[in-house]
Amino acid sequence: MLQLLLGFFLLFSACSSSQTEDLDGQEASYVNPDKVLIVYLSRTNNTKAIAEMIQKQVGGKLVALELEKPYPKDYRQIVDQVANENATGFLPPLKTKITTIQNYEVVFIGFPTWGMQLPPPLKSFLKEYNLSGKTIVPFNTNAGYGIGSTFETVKSLAPNSKILEGFSIKGGVERDGIYFVMEGDKAKEGEMKVKQWLQQIKILR
């Protein structure tokens, strides 16, 4: 009988300890909005809309990546230029400068999928800034073909950072003349999915 009571006590203690550790883990996942940076590239404003939804949930500073020499407006021309940049490894110089990058602990990085790859401006960003020791959270919009190699490229260009599970959602299809779609019911769907994703990766304000 004594052994039975002792076993019950130990089991109860173990469960209580486990619950406490889980709660502690959840508390530790909450972030200080002042330590959050949300960087994004957005040609048709769909990625920008997702970036703003993330900011609504976790706070942080929102920064749009701009190039010293912007891409052409014509879709076919930009496809050809990006294909050439990917083939040659050219990194387009950024007009955007972030002088306080050292102040941030969590860096969200948003981008569309271009040619099933990470857009060259994001490669420029990851090469230009030292994100070692920071938590990187990728998010993506695409024309329905998925993320391609984008998330893997983020990991390879930030080997000393902690990379969390990324987010992806279908946006516009510029090739077909379908541009900004993150409005109305689509925006509501996006907000719901963004919130679920942030809860899943435990990045909350």
Does residue 153 lie within any of the structural domains? yes
Asked whether residue 194 is domain-assigned, the answer is: yes
Q: Which residues does residue 135 pair with via DSSP β-bridges, in sequence order?
A: 106, 162
Q: Taken in order 66, 43, 167, 33, is the CA torsion positive or negative?
A: positive
Read off the pLDDT of residues 85-134 as tens digits, 9 standing for 90 and up.
999 999 999 999 999 999 999 999 999 999 999 999 999 999 999 999 99
Per-residue pLDDT tens over the stretch 64-96: 999 999 999 999 999 999 999 999 999 999 999
SS (H, E, C) 129-181: CCCCCCEEEEEEEECCCCCCCHHHHHHHHCCCCEECCCEEEECCEHHHCECCC
Which among 168, 144, 139 is positioned nearest to 154, based on CA atoms? Answer: 139
Q: Would residue 13 count as lying in a domain?
A: no
The three-state secondary structure class of 105 is coil
Neighbouring-strand partners of residue 168: 140
pTM of the predicted protein model: 0.86
* Number of domains, the chain: 1
Other CB atoms closer than 10 Å to residue 56's CB: what's the count? Answer: 12
Q: Is residue 40 part of a domain?
A: yes
For residue 97, is it within any domain? yes
- The boundaries of the domain holding residue 92 are 31-201
Q: What is the reported pLDDT for 205?
A: 78
Q: What's 181's domain CATH number?
A: 3.40.50.360
Write out the two tokens for 40: 């994004």
How many helical (H) and strand (E) elements, i.e. helices and strands, does the chain have? 6, 6
Q: What pLDDT, in 10s, does the model give residues 26-66?
A: 444 688 999 999 999 999 999 999 999 999 999 999 999 99
Classify residue 92: in a domain, yes or no: yes
